[in-house]
């Protein structure tokens, strides 16, 4: 467990960060899809959180320079990106209420470690370590491939949320234009873990004991080994009494549950792996192909899903006008920068190795003293720090988006 509160994220530190390090240009390229500002940028809502929790909504900008200037002058602790409105957000008050509607917005997903508190054993609440990051890693792998395969979206940007979670921004044209109803549908398609704390079985996705829907069958494959490594070996979820009692609640056959309960009560030393093997061998005793066996096998799949399938914060994704913290903001508690993450390398990602704002400024101090660049504007000082690979990643991502837009524009031209 480690949540070392990093050295104070003071207003002075933040100001230096915005002035010299924050990649405004890259952010604008990414949300604008083109080099010259379009409505995707100029009609976009930014919401700034200032000192003492003052919340400034409906901000918008014409150019990158104005954007940077405003952020530097207000020096927010963080800011969020909202939808593209039909009218410039700052003109909200003068526009007719009906004329002010959100039109476009990246499809976003939010996965937060707190939703895993009932299954992780290493940390609690705000805490996060490399070990519990494995839950997030599993979620990222499943969501990333499901969305690409089933919905056909290509422009997915994963961003570390600065403390204990991860955000996904999808910028494909169709995804940008989804209505709230369609966003709700996609959430319904993806969300599997349901039911509050008074509901033991949180996975109810099949009719009776019929096979899983194809999308979840596909998700299950990588989760089976993950269940073994993470839930059984690493987290040892069924070690404690409460842990294995939870497992027994999920077994539909009362007799088998009772046999296992007696066995585990007697022998305190059985690991989660032993217990899972016990369950498997009890299932093997039932007749092959019998309804009991089929329902137990289905239950095992459901258990694997319940412990490892992505737990998304559904409300974030359902509405176009939801605000989400911008990439490269600094988490005020940890000082860590919300950097983009490569889903291919998600297993190697260590939240504790993400650069903090203090560390970056120190790196910068060294560079500037050696180069002695006084008075010059530091537009891309991030190049000289460990922020560089992360900004490069965003730039590559934005470039691919801009390519796509250019290609489809050219195609539209040819049709004439």
The smaller minimum CB distance to another protein, of residues 15 and 205, is found at 205
> Is 415 near another protein (CB under 8 A)?
no
Reduce the DSSP state of residue 11 to 3 states and report it.
helix
Those residues whose C-beta lies under 8 Å from the C-beta of residue 316, and which sit 6 or more positions away, are 108, 109, 110, 322, 324
Q: What DSSP state is assigned to residue 163?
A: S
The smaller minimum CB distance to another protein, of residues 214 and 289, is found at 214
- Total chain residues near another protein (CB under 8 A): 28
Minimum CB–partner distance for residue 182 and another protein (Å)? 5
Q: What DSSP state is assigned to residue 227?
A: I
112 is catalytic: yes
Q: Assess contact for 283 and 297: CB atoms under 8 A.
A: yes
**CA 266 vs CA 24, 233, 270, 398: distances in Å:** 62, 21, 10, 59
> Is 291 near another protein (CB under 8 A)?
no
> Is 215 near another protein (CB under 8 A)?
yes
The smaller minimum CB distance to another protein, of residues 205 and 405, is found at 205
> Is 73 near another protein (CB under 8 A)?
no
Q: What DSSP state is assigned to residue 149?
A: I
45 is catalytic: yes
Of 106, 110, 246, 381, which one is the catalytic site residue? Answer: 110
Query: Site mask, another protein, residues 134-163, x = CB under 8 A?
Result: ---------------xxxxx----------
- In the region spanning residues 96 to 125, those forming contacts with another protein, defined by CB under 8 A, are 98
Task: Find the part of the chain contacting another protein (CB under 8 A) among 21-29, 211-219, 280-288, 397-405.
Answer: 211-219
> Is 289 near another protein (CB under 8 A)?
no
> Is 347 near another protein (CB under 8 A)?
no
Question: Residue from 113, 212, 231, 329 that binds another protein (CB under 8 A)?
Answer: 212
> Is 221 near another protein (CB under 8 A)?
no
Cα–Cα dist 118/330, whole Å: 28
Q: Which of 300, 158, 140 is nearest to 231 (CA)?
A: 300
Estimate the crossing angle of helix 388-414 against helix 24-32, to 10 degrees. 30
Helices (H), 227-349: 241-249, 254-266, 272-285, 291-308, 314-318
**CA 279 vs CA 283, 285, 295, 304, 354: distances in Å:** 6, 10, 13, 13, 40
Cα–Cα dist 347/186, whole Å: 26
Q: Which of 285, 251, 248 is nearest to 263 (CA)?
A: 248
234 is catalytic: no
> Is 188 near another protein (CB under 8 A)?
yes
Task: Find the part of the chain contacting another protein (CB under 8 A) among 2-10, 53-61, 174-182, 245-253.
Answer: 174-182
The smaller minimum CB distance to another protein, of residues 210 and 266, is found at 210
The smaller minimum CB distance to another protein, of residues 214 and 375, is found at 214
Question: Residue from 214, 269, 289, 375 that binds another protein (CB under 8 A)?
Answer: 214
Helix and strand counts by DSSP (H, E) for the chain: 15, 9
> Is 199 near another protein (CB under 8 A)?
no
Question: Residue from 62, 65, 174, 352 that binds another protein (CB under 8 A)?
Answer: 174
166-192 per-residue burial string, b: 16 or more CB within 10 A, e: under 16: bbbbbbbeebbebeeeebeebbeebbb
> Is 94 near another protein (CB under 8 A)?
no
Minimum CB–partner distance for residue 184 and another protein (Å)? 7
Q: Which of 141, 83, 130, 335 is nearest to 234 (CA)?
A: 130
Q: Assess contact for 135 and 116: CB atoms under 8 A.
A: yes
Minimum CB–partner distance for residue 152 and another protein (Å)? 3
Task: Please report, as ranges, the residues that interact with another protein according to CB under 8 A.
Answer: 98, 149-153, 174, 178, 181-182, 184-189, 196, 205-207, 210-217
| Catalytic annotation, residues | 45, 110, 112
């Amino acid at each position: 467990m480690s949540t070392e509160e990093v050295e104070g994220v003071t207003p002075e530190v933040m100001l230096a960060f915005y002035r010299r390090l924050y990649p405004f240009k890259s952010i604008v390229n990414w949300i604008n899809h083109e080099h010259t500002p379009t409505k995707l940028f100029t009609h976009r809502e930014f919401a700034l959180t200032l000192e003492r929790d003052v919340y400034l909504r409906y901000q918008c900008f014409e150019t990158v320079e104005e954007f940077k200037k405003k952020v530097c002058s207000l020096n927010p602790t963080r800011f969020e990106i909202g939808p593209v409105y039909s009218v410039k957000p700052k003109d909200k008050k003068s526009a007719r209420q009906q004329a002010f509607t959100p039109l476009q917005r990246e499809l976003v997903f939010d996965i937060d470690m707190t939703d895993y508190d009932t299954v992780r054993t290493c940390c609690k609440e705000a805490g996060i370590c490399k070990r519990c990051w494995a839950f997030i890693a599993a979620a990222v792998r499943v969501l990333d491939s499901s969305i690409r395969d089933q919905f056909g979206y290509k422009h997915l940007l994963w961003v570390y949320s600065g403390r204990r979670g991860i955000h996904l921004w999808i910028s494909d044209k169709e995804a940008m234009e989804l209505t709230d109803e369609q966003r709700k549908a996609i959430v319904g398609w993806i969300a599997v873990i349901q039911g509050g704390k008074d509901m033991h079985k949180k996975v109810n996705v099949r009719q009776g004991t019929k096979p899983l829907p194809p999308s979840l069958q596909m998700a299950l494959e990588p989760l089976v080994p993950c269940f073994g490594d993470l839930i059984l070996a690493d987290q040892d979820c069924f070690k404690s009494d409460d842990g294995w009692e939870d497992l027994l609640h999920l077994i539909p056959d009362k007799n088998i549950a009772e046999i296992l309960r007696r066995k585990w009560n007697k022998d305190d030393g059985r690991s989660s792996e032993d217990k899972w093997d016990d369950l498997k061998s009890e299932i093997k005793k039932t007749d092959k192909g019998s309804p009991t066996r089929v329902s137990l096998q289905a239950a095992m799949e459901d258990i694997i899903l319940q412990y490892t399938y992505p737990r998304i914060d559904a409300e974030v994704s359902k509405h176009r006008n939801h605000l989400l913290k911008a990439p490269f903001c600094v988490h005020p508690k940890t000082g860590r920068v919300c950097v983009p993450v490569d889903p291919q390398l998600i297993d190697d990602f260590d939240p504790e190795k993400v650069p903090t704002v203090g560390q970056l400024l120190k790196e910068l101090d060294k560079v500037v003293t050696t180069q002695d660049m006084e008075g010059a504007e530091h537009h891309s000082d991030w190049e000289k720090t460990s922020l560089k690979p992360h900004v490069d990643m965003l730039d590559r991502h934005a470039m691919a988006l801009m390519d796509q837009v250019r290609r489809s524009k050219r195609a539209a031209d040819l049709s004439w």
